[in-house]
Amino acid sequence: MYSEKESAEVTVNNFLTKIKHYYHPTEEAAILEAFSVAKNAHEGQFRASGRPYITHPTIVADILVDMGFDVPTICAALLHDTVEDTNVTDADLRTKFGDEIADLVAGVTKLDKIQFHNKEEEQTENMRKMFFAMAKDIRVMMIKLADRLHNMRSLMYLSEEKQQVIAKETLDIFAPIAGRLGISSVKSELEDLCLKYLDRKAYDEIAQGIAMKKAERETIVENFIFQLKDKLKESNLANFDVYWRTKHFYSIYKKMKKQNKTLEQVYDLTAVRVIVETIKDCYAVLGSIHDKWKPMPGRFKDYIAVPKRNMYQSLHTTVFLDYQSHRYPIEVQIRTYEMHKIAEYGVAAHWKYKEGVTTKTEMDETLGWVKEVLSYDKDFRDSKEFLNLIRKDISNTNEVYVFTPNGDVKILAAGSNALDFAYAVHSEVGNKCVGTKVNNKIVPLDTVLSTGDTVEVMTNPNAKGPSRDWLKIVTTPSAKAKIRQFFKRELKDEYIRTGKSMVERDAKHRGISPSELVTPEAVAAVCERYMLANADEMYAAVGYGSLSLTQVMLKLITANKHVSDAIKAQQVVRSRKPVNSKEKSVIIKGVEGLLVRFSRCCSPVPGDEIVGYISRGRGVCVHRADCPAVKNMEKERLIKAEWANTSEQTTFSASIEIISEDKGDIFAEITRAIANEGLPMTAINARKDKKGNAVANVTVEISNHDQANQLITKLKSIPAVINAYRVNG
């Protein structure tokens, strides 16, 4: 690590020496090229510390060299501030270094512009951008973390106000992300630096407290390690390392806060690490330790069998050391060299083995997490909830390990409940969940799970799905997202149903049969016009209201030549419709001067038995007494009506449906029959039904019931006609 006081020359030389050792000469040349471009670009610029600016990108690159990153990452780290702060442009970088490096620099520049201390509403969007950047190339986040680490190390040169803002943002966002990516070396240092600026008093207390007892603790731990090494030599391990370290301040601080303890009362200030070659060795070491020292109950954790979500693996145990008539608890962590690298560098550990030894799985797992966050982002867009959940998710490093009835292990965030578990198994298991059992006992869905619990989800294939209350029960973002997805889908089904019935009703109103109107060709035309995928989407758009019914109907009709021709014919005939004043022909008992309308569903004519319906604000509507619509009307609003004996010749519209075999010129015959009766026809609409019969709907102007019956008899006498009747309802 560099001290901020050392000269710029030392900083740069250390870096240049390091890359000479770490990289192949051709790689070294590429890094030197990036270094010289950055150096020239930042010439004359200085850090707040007064040091030449180039020291900053150099140290950022140096941090990444220590993590074993590849050449493009190191080059991009050296150049990371050039586009933003110097004359160098994105295009310059692309020409000189190619797209990979230029893209990395562009990614870091973009991340730099995200301010996390601004308005709450913008934070969701910021978080989203950050996860997008990570999903695109996780190296961008690595450079950003190294950049933040150096900025935190040199925070003392900034104003107190800036110190607070940057430290808070680091503790809220960047330290948790480093932790979630498994880079505990960076996470710990960031957290300790944050503590120093955010709670100086606590930081000093811990620092002094640890320094004071340092000698005593050292003696105890050294004694333990001495005995441990002796013991391990017996067990023929090929190769091992044992050392101890003081836990980092922030973790001690958190422990004190959480357990409300003083520094004196926190016993595990140190941890002893044993690093060995193989997993088998890990368990052998554990056996030896437990053989010699008594373990503290409840402190053994096997993170090898079940790694943490951030890929961390180790065996943890705490044993009692008897020393000078005192009992001291000592925490021991046992891991392989490989696990150790992953524990320190997390995701970054993979660039250490670019020779092709590593499997991609751990990498994919971590990126899987980033992608999962992005996937549920869709369901939380623009909501504060997303932000809070993500924050909770990245900072929650505590986990519970529970078992399925088959003995499989599931890792959940600490605080997860039985319903979270159901959704963690599968979204369908969650959606069909009707109850949960923990350790064979039926428990409420919100039962918080503990490590070691066996959890069983009872499902019912007929379950209707989650209730909205479940959104309040589940605690994990992924379970919440899955429930939201369910409702979104459900809602869509509802919109499809509504839209479909709207289209069908409107078609009937226009005298078109829905099946004839909604042909695959017509649907395709609508979908193409409004960029929809299929009929369901079309109906959903209508049902939801994002497309108007009129728009869709017009397109369906014009796309359907047969239907549109029929409608045109209908419109021509309608325009000739005579105007009648028919109100006087009906007498409403006991009420006078009411506006009278004739229902269009059954088109009553004089002679028909009729009934009036007092509509809301639209006068009385007259129906035929046998109209099916009347059955569903409010009884209190029905009123007696009868035909007046007027001498005035008034005509009424009557709708007649004629079903006939589709042969010869059947429509000509029908229209001729109507004309022969001397009745004016005001509309005709012809179509085919499912059986292939011709169906004609005609509207004729008649004076009374008898005329209608007479016409129907005539129509029925046409040989091809199968049936004819007044249309009602």
Residues near Mn ion, by CB under 5 A: 81, 147
CB of 166 to Mn ion, least distance (A): 12
Quick one: 84 or 218, whose CB is closer to Mn ion?
84
Q: Which two tokens stand for residue 159?
A: 């104003």
Burial classification of residue 596, based on how many CB atoms lie within 10 Å of its CB (0-12 exposed, 13-18 middle, 19 or more buried): middle
Minimum distance from CB of 60 to Mn ion (Å)?
A: 6
- Which tokens in the block code for residue 179? 């932790």
Angstrom distance (rounded) from CA 119 to CA 115: 9
DSSP three-state, residue 363: helix
DSSP 26-39: HHHHHHHHHHHHHH
Residue nearest to Mn ion (CB): 147
Q: What is each CA distance from 525 to 183, 543, 551, 562, 719, in whole angstroms?
A: 55, 19, 12, 15, 40
Q: Which is nearer to Mn ion, 147 or 362 (CB)?
A: 147
Q: Which residues contact 644 (CB under 8 A, 6 or more apart)?
A: 584, 585, 586, 587
Which residue in the block uniquely carries the two structure tokens 């379950």? 463
Torsional class of 147: left (φ above 0), alpha (ψ -120 to 50), beta (otherwise): alpha
CA 160, distance to chain mean position in Å, is 38
Give the DSSP per-residue string, 234-272.
Answer: HTT-SSEEEEEEEPPHHHHHHHHHHHT--GGG---SEEE
Task: Look up 70 and say whether it is catalytic.
Answer: no
Question: Which is nearer to Mn ion, 111 or 641 (by Cβ)?
Answer: 111
**Among positive and negative, which fits the CA dihedral 41, 47, 51, 55?**
negative
Q: What is the DSSP string of 501-549?
A: HHHHHHHHHTT--HHHHS-HHHHHHHHHHHT-SSHHHHHHHHHHTSS-H
At its nearest, how many Å lie between Mn ion and the CB of residue 112? 7
Closer CB to Mn ion, 147 or 393, in the complex = 147
**Measured from the CB of residue 196, what is the shortest distance to Mn ion in angstroms?**
20
Whether residue 386 contacts residue 380, with contact meaning beta carbons closer than 8 Å, is answered with yes
Q: Nearer Cβ to Mn ion, position 81 or 608?
A: 81
Q: In the bound complex, what is the minimum distance in angstroms from residue 102's beta carbon to Mn ion?
A: 17
Min separation Cβ 113 and Mn ion, Å: 12
Neighbours of 630 (CB within 10 A): 20
Query: What's the min distance (Å) between Cβ of 150 and Mn ion?
Result: 7
Q: Which of 85, 199, 365, 626 is catalytic?
A: 85
CA distance 628 to 623: 10
Residues facing residue 684 across a β-bridge: 698
Residues 563 and 515: their CA atoms lie apart, in Å, by 11
Spatial separation of the C-alpha atoms in residues 306 and 320, rounded to whole Å: 25
Query: 8-25: b or e for each residue (b if 16 or more CB lie within 10 Å)?
Result: beebbeebeeebeeebee
- Which residues are CB-contacts of 706 (< 8 A; sequence separation ≥ 6)? 607
Q: Which is nearer to Mn ion, 152 or 630 (CB)?
A: 152
Residue with smaller CB distance to Mn ion, 82 or 660: 82
For the bound state, the minimum distance from the C-beta of residue 44 to Mn ion, rounded and expressed in Å, comes to 17
* Closer of 81 and 377 to Mn ion (Cβ): 81
> What is the DSSP pairing of strand 596-598 with strand 620-624?
parallel
Name the nearest CA neighbour of 48 among 144, 151, 194.
Answer: 151
Spot the catalytic one: 6, 9, 43, 84.
84
Beta bridge partners of 608: 606
- Min dist CB 484 to Mn ion, Å, is 38
Nearer CB in complex with Mn ion: 81/506:
81
Could you confirm whether 322 is annotated as catalytic? no
What's the rounded Cα separation, in Å, for the pair 116 and 123? 6
Beta bridge partner(s), residue 327: 322
Residue 374: C-alpha distances to residues 131, 134, 159, 367, 568 (Å): 7, 10, 36, 11, 52
Whichever of 147 and 377 has its CB closer to Mn ion, that residue is: 147
Active site (catalytic) residues = 84-85
